[in-house]
Amino acid sequence: MPALTPSRTKYRKVMKGRMRGNAKGGDTMAFGDYAVQSLERGYFTGNQIEAARVALTRYMKRKGKLWIRVFPHKPVTKKPLETRMGKGKGAVDHYVAVVKPGTILFELAGVTLPIAREAMRLADTKLPFKTRFITRDR
Amino acid sequence: MKQLTINAYSRETAGTSSSKRLRREGKIPAVVYGKTKEPVNLYIDASDFRIALKELGNNSPVVQLKSEGGDSKTSIIKGVQRHSVTDKYLHIDFHEVAEGELIKVAVPVHPTGEAFGVKTEGGTLEYVLQAVHVRCSSKDIPEFVEADVSELKVGDSFHVKSLPAIDGVTYLDHPEQPVYSVAK
Protein backbone atom coordinates (compact mmCIF):
# COMPACT_ATOMS: atom_id res chain seq x y z
CA MET A 1 0.00 0.00 0.00
CA PRO A 2 1.78 3.22 -1.08
CA ALA A 3 1.60 5.85 1.64
CA LEU A 4 1.10 9.53 0.92
CA THR A 5 4.44 11.35 0.92
CA PRO A 6 5.56 14.73 -0.38
CA SER A 7 7.27 14.54 -3.78
CA ARG A 8 10.12 16.76 -2.53
CA THR A 9 10.83 18.64 0.66
CA LYS A 10 12.83 21.77 1.41
CA TYR A 11 14.45 20.17 4.47
CA ARG A 12 14.91 16.42 4.91
CA LYS A 13 14.26 16.36 8.67
CA VAL A 14 12.39 18.80 10.90
CA MET A 15 12.04 19.32 14.63
CA LYS A 16 9.07 17.87 16.52
CA GLY A 17 7.43 21.16 17.38
CA ARG A 18 4.31 21.41 19.51
CA MET A 19 0.65 21.24 18.51
CA ARG A 20 -1.07 23.54 20.96
CA GLY A 21 -4.36 25.32 20.38
CA ASN A 22 -7.15 24.70 17.92
CA ALA A 23 -7.11 24.69 14.15
CA LYS A 24 -6.62 28.18 12.72
CA GLY A 25 -7.33 27.23 9.13
CA GLY A 26 -8.95 24.33 7.34
CA ASP A 27 -11.66 24.32 10.00
CA THR A 28 -14.65 25.11 7.76
CA MET A 29 -16.29 23.04 5.07
CA ALA A 30 -15.14 24.40 1.72
CA PHE A 31 -16.04 21.95 -1.03
CA GLY A 32 -18.52 19.19 -0.15
CA ASP A 33 -21.83 18.72 1.63
CA TYR A 34 -20.61 16.43 4.41
CA ALA A 35 -17.38 16.38 6.36
CA VAL A 36 -15.45 14.71 9.16
CA GLN A 37 -13.98 17.14 11.67
CA SER A 38 -11.33 16.22 14.20
CA LEU A 39 -12.07 16.88 17.88
CA GLU A 40 -8.63 15.94 19.14
CA ARG A 41 -5.03 16.61 18.21
CA GLY A 42 -2.41 14.24 16.90
CA TYR A 43 -0.38 12.97 14.00
CA PHE A 44 -2.31 11.58 11.02
CA THR A 45 0.07 9.36 9.06
CA GLY A 46 0.04 8.85 5.30
CA ASN A 47 -0.94 5.20 5.81
CA GLN A 48 -3.90 6.14 8.00
CA ILE A 49 -5.09 8.71 5.44
CA GLU A 50 -4.87 6.08 2.70
CA ALA A 51 -6.70 3.47 4.82
CA ALA A 52 -9.53 5.93 5.55
CA ARG A 53 -9.74 6.90 1.88
CA VAL A 54 -10.02 3.23 0.82
CA ALA A 55 -12.75 2.61 3.43
CA LEU A 56 -14.69 5.64 2.17
CA THR A 57 -14.47 4.92 -1.54
CA ARG A 58 -15.23 1.21 -1.11
CA TYR A 59 -18.46 1.95 0.73
CA MET A 60 -19.48 4.64 -1.77
CA LYS A 61 -18.71 2.23 -4.63
CA ARG A 62 -16.67 4.97 -6.35
CA LYS A 63 -19.72 7.28 -6.52
CA GLY A 64 -19.70 10.82 -5.20
CA LYS A 65 -16.69 13.04 -4.79
CA LEU A 66 -14.15 12.98 -2.00
CA TRP A 67 -11.81 15.74 -0.86
CA ILE A 68 -8.90 14.91 1.45
CA ARG A 69 -8.26 18.16 3.31
CA VAL A 70 -5.01 17.16 5.06
CA PHE A 71 -1.64 16.17 3.64
CA PRO A 72 1.31 14.58 5.49
CA HIS A 73 3.99 17.23 5.07
CA LYS A 74 5.94 16.55 8.27
CA PRO A 75 8.74 13.95 8.24
CA VAL A 76 9.05 11.70 11.30
CA THR A 77 12.41 10.01 11.93
CA LYS A 78 13.20 6.73 13.61
CA LYS A 79 16.43 5.13 14.79
CA PRO A 80 17.10 1.53 13.69
CA LEU A 81 16.33 -1.24 16.19
CA GLU A 82 18.96 -2.21 18.76
CA THR A 83 20.97 0.95 18.18
CA ARG A 84 22.77 2.77 20.97
CA MET A 85 21.64 6.34 21.67
CA GLY A 86 23.54 9.16 20.02
CA LYS A 87 25.20 9.21 16.60
CA GLY A 88 22.75 11.79 15.34
CA LYS A 89 19.10 11.92 14.32
CA GLY A 90 17.61 8.80 12.75
CA ALA A 91 16.46 8.38 9.16
CA VAL A 92 13.06 9.57 7.92
CA ASP A 93 10.57 6.76 8.54
CA HIS A 94 7.24 8.21 7.46
CA TYR A 95 5.34 11.48 6.99
CA VAL A 96 2.46 12.81 9.08
CA ALA A 97 -0.12 15.58 8.98
CA VAL A 98 -0.40 17.60 12.17
CA VAL A 99 -4.08 17.68 13.10
CA LYS A 100 -5.50 20.06 15.70
CA PRO A 101 -9.07 20.12 17.10
CA GLY A 102 -11.40 21.58 14.49
CA THR A 103 -9.45 20.44 11.42
CA ILE A 104 -11.64 19.16 8.59
CA LEU A 105 -10.18 15.83 7.44
CA PHE A 106 -12.44 14.65 4.63
CA GLU A 107 -15.31 16.16 2.66
CA LEU A 108 -17.89 14.36 0.56
CA ALA A 109 -20.45 15.38 -2.05
CA GLY A 110 -22.72 13.68 -4.56
CA VAL A 111 -24.07 10.98 -2.21
CA THR A 112 -27.09 10.80 0.07
CA LEU A 113 -26.87 11.60 3.76
CA PRO A 114 -27.19 7.96 5.01
CA ILE A 115 -24.45 6.78 2.62
CA ALA A 116 -22.19 9.69 3.59
CA ARG A 117 -22.78 9.07 7.29
CA GLU A 118 -21.98 5.35 7.05
CA ALA A 119 -18.95 5.94 4.80
CA MET A 120 -17.59 8.50 7.25
CA ARG A 121 -18.25 6.10 10.16
CA LEU A 122 -16.16 3.44 8.42
CA ALA A 123 -13.41 5.96 7.73
CA ASP A 124 -13.55 7.10 11.35
CA THR A 125 -12.53 3.61 12.50
CA LYS A 126 -9.19 4.15 10.74
CA LEU A 127 -8.49 7.48 12.44
CA PRO A 128 -6.36 7.96 15.54
CA PHE A 129 -8.59 10.62 17.11
CA LYS A 130 -12.22 11.38 17.95
CA THR A 131 -14.15 13.02 15.14
CA ARG A 132 -17.60 14.29 14.39
CA PHE A 133 -19.72 14.17 11.26
CA ILE A 134 -20.97 17.55 10.04
CA THR A 135 -23.24 18.63 7.23
CA ARG A 136 -23.40 21.90 5.36
CA ASP A 137 -26.65 23.09 7.03
CA ARG A 138 -25.54 22.90 10.62
CA MET B 1 -38.02 38.02 1.64
CA LYS B 2 -37.97 37.54 5.40
CA GLN B 3 -36.51 40.33 7.48
CA LEU B 4 -35.90 39.78 11.14
CA THR B 5 -35.20 42.26 13.87
CA ILE B 6 -32.20 41.77 16.12
CA ASN B 7 -31.82 43.85 19.27
CA ALA B 8 -28.36 45.36 19.65
CA TYR B 9 -26.89 47.11 22.65
CA SER B 10 -23.92 49.44 22.59
CA ARG B 11 -20.79 48.55 24.56
CA GLU B 12 -18.18 50.87 25.93
CA THR B 13 -15.36 48.36 26.25
CA ALA B 14 -13.49 46.50 23.56
CA GLY B 15 -10.73 43.93 23.57
CA THR B 16 -10.14 40.31 24.51
CA SER B 17 -11.05 40.30 28.19
CA SER B 18 -14.27 42.27 27.88
CA SER B 19 -15.31 40.21 24.86
CA LYS B 20 -14.65 37.00 26.80
CA ARG B 21 -16.75 38.37 29.69
CA LEU B 22 -19.62 39.09 27.29
CA ARG B 23 -19.44 35.59 25.79
CA ARG B 24 -19.55 34.05 29.28
CA GLU B 25 -22.78 35.99 29.89
CA GLY B 26 -24.37 34.57 26.74
CA LYS B 27 -23.80 37.63 24.59
CA ILE B 28 -21.93 38.05 21.32
CA PRO B 29 -19.64 41.03 20.65
CA ALA B 30 -20.48 42.70 17.36
CA VAL B 31 -19.66 45.74 15.29
CA VAL B 32 -21.75 47.76 12.87
CA TYR B 33 -20.28 49.92 10.14
CA GLY B 34 -21.39 51.49 6.91
CA LYS B 35 -20.41 53.81 4.11
CA THR B 36 -21.53 56.93 5.95
CA LYS B 37 -21.20 55.63 9.47
CA GLU B 38 -18.35 55.37 11.94
CA PRO B 39 -17.91 51.81 13.28
CA VAL B 40 -19.83 51.24 16.52
CA ASN B 41 -19.13 48.40 18.95
CA LEU B 42 -22.22 46.47 19.99
CA TYR B 43 -23.29 43.25 21.61
CA ILE B 44 -26.28 41.06 20.89
CA ASP B 45 -27.96 38.22 22.70
CA ALA B 46 -26.56 34.84 21.58
CA SER B 47 -29.89 32.99 21.78
CA ASP B 48 -31.65 35.78 19.82
CA PHE B 49 -29.02 35.56 17.11
CA ARG B 50 -29.20 31.77 16.95
CA ILE B 51 -32.99 31.91 16.54
CA ALA B 52 -32.70 34.64 13.90
CA LEU B 53 -30.16 32.66 11.87
CA LYS B 54 -32.36 29.57 12.05
CA GLU B 55 -35.31 31.59 10.74
CA LEU B 56 -33.23 33.15 7.98
CA GLY B 57 -31.53 29.93 6.93
CA ASN B 58 -28.84 30.48 4.34
CA ASN B 59 -31.10 32.51 2.14
CA SER B 60 -30.81 36.11 3.21
CA PRO B 61 -28.28 38.08 5.19
CA VAL B 62 -30.59 41.12 5.62
CA VAL B 63 -31.77 41.97 9.13
CA GLN B 64 -33.19 44.98 10.92
CA LEU B 65 -30.72 45.98 13.60
CA LYS B 66 -32.60 47.67 16.43
CA SER B 67 -30.45 49.78 18.70
CA GLU B 68 -31.24 50.88 22.26
CA GLY B 69 -32.56 54.22 21.03
CA GLY B 70 -35.41 52.41 19.34
CA ASP B 71 -34.75 53.07 15.65
CA SER B 72 -34.01 50.03 13.50
CA LYS B 73 -31.68 50.18 10.51
CA THR B 74 -31.40 47.78 7.61
CA SER B 75 -28.13 45.88 7.89
CA ILE B 76 -26.58 42.83 6.37
CA ILE B 77 -24.71 40.16 8.29
CA LYS B 78 -21.29 40.71 6.77
CA GLY B 79 -19.25 38.23 8.76
CA VAL B 80 -19.78 35.59 11.41
CA GLN B 81 -16.86 34.23 13.41
CA ARG B 82 -17.40 30.86 15.05
CA HIS B 83 -15.30 28.71 17.34
CA SER B 84 -13.78 25.89 15.29
CA VAL B 85 -14.67 23.13 17.77
CA THR B 86 -17.62 24.30 19.86
CA ASP B 87 -19.31 26.19 16.99
CA LYS B 88 -20.19 29.03 19.39
CA TYR B 89 -20.51 32.46 17.83
CA LEU B 90 -17.53 34.65 18.68
CA HIS B 91 -18.16 37.88 16.80
CA ILE B 92 -20.59 39.31 14.27
CA ASP B 93 -19.99 42.03 11.67
CA PHE B 94 -23.01 44.03 10.53
CA HIS B 95 -22.92 46.35 7.54
CA GLU B 96 -25.49 49.12 7.73
CA VAL B 97 -26.96 49.74 4.30
CA ALA B 98 -28.18 53.17 3.23
CA GLU B 99 -31.34 53.56 1.17
CA GLY B 100 -30.59 52.66 -2.44
CA GLU B 101 -26.97 51.69 -1.72
CA LEU B 102 -25.69 48.90 -3.92
CA ILE B 103 -24.08 46.09 -1.98
CA LYS B 104 -22.13 42.99 -2.89
CA VAL B 105 -23.49 39.73 -1.46
CA ALA B 106 -23.18 36.00 -2.10
CA VAL B 107 -26.44 34.31 -3.11
CA PRO B 108 -26.83 30.49 -3.07
CA VAL B 109 -27.48 28.69 -6.35
CA HIS B 110 -30.07 25.89 -6.44
CA PRO B 111 -30.24 23.39 -9.31
CA THR B 112 -33.64 22.69 -10.86
CA GLY B 113 -34.50 19.58 -12.82
CA GLU B 114 -32.44 16.43 -13.17
CA ALA B 115 -29.49 16.65 -15.53
CA PHE B 116 -29.72 14.51 -18.68
CA GLY B 117 -26.22 13.18 -17.99
CA VAL B 118 -27.25 12.07 -14.49
CA LYS B 119 -30.58 10.53 -15.54
CA THR B 120 -29.47 8.57 -18.60
CA GLU B 121 -25.66 8.54 -18.79
CA GLY B 122 -24.81 7.61 -15.21
CA GLY B 123 -22.96 10.85 -14.49
CA THR B 124 -22.79 12.87 -11.28
CA LEU B 125 -23.77 16.51 -10.92
CA GLU B 126 -20.87 18.34 -9.34
CA TYR B 127 -21.07 21.90 -8.18
CA VAL B 128 -18.15 24.21 -8.61
CA LEU B 129 -19.76 27.22 -6.90
CA GLN B 130 -22.04 27.06 -3.87
CA ALA B 131 -23.02 30.70 -4.30
CA VAL B 132 -22.61 33.48 -6.82
CA HIS B 133 -21.60 37.04 -6.01
CA VAL B 134 -24.14 39.68 -6.99
CA ARG B 135 -24.43 43.45 -6.71
CA CYS B 136 -27.87 44.85 -5.88
CA SER B 137 -29.74 46.97 -3.38
CA SER B 138 -30.69 45.41 -0.05
CA LYS B 139 -34.36 45.02 -1.02
CA ASP B 140 -33.50 43.26 -4.30
CA ILE B 141 -31.37 40.47 -2.81
CA PRO B 142 -32.78 37.19 -4.15
CA GLU B 143 -33.21 34.32 -1.68
CA PHE B 144 -31.50 32.03 -4.19
CA VAL B 145 -30.80 31.79 -7.90
CA GLU B 146 -32.23 28.86 -9.82
CA ALA B 147 -30.06 27.08 -12.38
CA ASP B 148 -31.85 24.83 -14.87
CA VAL B 149 -29.43 21.93 -15.26
CA SER B 150 -31.83 19.54 -17.03
CA GLU B 151 -30.03 19.74 -20.41
CA LEU B 152 -26.52 19.07 -19.11
CA LYS B 153 -24.85 15.98 -20.57
CA VAL B 154 -21.74 14.25 -19.26
CA GLY B 155 -18.82 16.63 -19.74
CA ASP B 156 -21.05 19.74 -19.95
CA SER B 157 -20.89 22.67 -17.57
CA PHE B 158 -23.40 25.29 -16.49
CA HIS B 159 -21.80 28.75 -16.49
CA VAL B 160 -22.58 32.00 -14.70
CA LYS B 161 -23.61 33.55 -18.04
CA SER B 162 -26.48 30.99 -18.27
CA LEU B 163 -28.04 32.04 -14.95
CA PRO B 164 -31.42 33.76 -15.31
CA ALA B 165 -31.39 37.57 -15.44
CA ILE B 166 -33.00 39.15 -12.38
CA ASP B 167 -34.16 42.79 -12.29
CA GLY B 168 -31.80 45.01 -10.31
CA VAL B 169 -29.25 42.23 -9.83
CA THR B 170 -25.81 42.12 -11.50
CA TYR B 171 -23.71 38.96 -11.41
CA LEU B 172 -20.14 39.77 -10.43
CA ASP B 173 -18.51 36.42 -11.15
CA HIS B 174 -16.84 35.88 -14.53
CA PRO B 175 -19.46 34.88 -17.15
CA GLU B 176 -17.43 31.81 -18.15
CA GLN B 177 -17.09 30.62 -14.53
CA PRO B 178 -18.67 27.13 -14.23
CA VAL B 179 -21.35 26.68 -11.55
CA TYR B 180 -22.26 23.02 -12.16
CA SER B 181 -20.68 20.29 -14.22
CA VAL B 182 -21.67 16.70 -14.96
CA ALA B 183 -18.81 14.24 -14.56
CA LYS B 184 -18.73 10.53 -15.38
Q: Are residues B14 and B90 in the same domain?
A: yes
Q: Which residues in A lie closer than 8 A to residue B109 (C-beta atoms)?
A: none
Render pLDDT for A91-137 as a digit per residue (tens, 0 to 9).
999 999 999 999 999 999 888 999 999 999 999 999 999 999 999 86
Residue B70 C-alpha, separation from nearest chain A C-alpha, in angstroms: 32
Residues B17 and B59 in one domain: yes
Chain A residues within 8 A of B84 when measuring between CB atoms: 22-24, 27-28, 101-102
B81/B107 same-domain check: no
Domain encompassing residue B125: 102-183
Do residues B90 and B129 share a domain? no
pLDDT exceeds cutoff 70 at B5: yes
Amino acid at A111: V
Angstroms from A49 CA to nearest CA on chain B: 21
* Residue B25 sits at the chain A interface (C-beta within 8 Å): no
B77 shares its domain with B16:
yes
Chain B residues with CB under 8 Å of A64 CB are: 124
Q: Could you tell me the CATH number of the domain that includes residue B62? A: 2.40.240.10
Residues 6+ apart with CB under 8 A from B24: none
Of B96, B124, B151, the domain-final residue: B96
Phi, psi (degrees; rounded to nearest 5) at B21: -60, -45
Given a cut of 50, whether residue B138 has pLDDT beyond it is yes
Among B35, B65, B96, identify where a domain stops. B96
The verdict on B156 and B142 lying in the same domain is: yes
A54-90 pLDDT per residue, tens: 999 999 887 888 999 999 999 999 999 999 999 999 9
Q: Is the alpha carbon torsion for A136, B2, B3, B6 positive or negative?
A: negative
Residues B47, B72, single domain; the answer is yes
In chain A, residues with a C-beta closer than 8 Å to the C-beta of B85 are: 22, 39, 101-102
pTM for this entry: 0.85
Last residue of a domain, one of B57, B74, B96: B96
Q: Is the dihedral of CA B41, B46, B50, B51 positive or negative?
A: negative
| Number of structural domains chain B divides into | 2
Mean pLDDT over B61-74 rounds to 81
Q: Which of B83, B84, B124 sits opposite A63 (nearest CB)?
A: B124
B120 plus B166 within the same structural domain: yes
Strands of A74-78's sheet in order across = A42-45, A91-99, A74-78
Stretch A30-56: mean pLDDT: 94
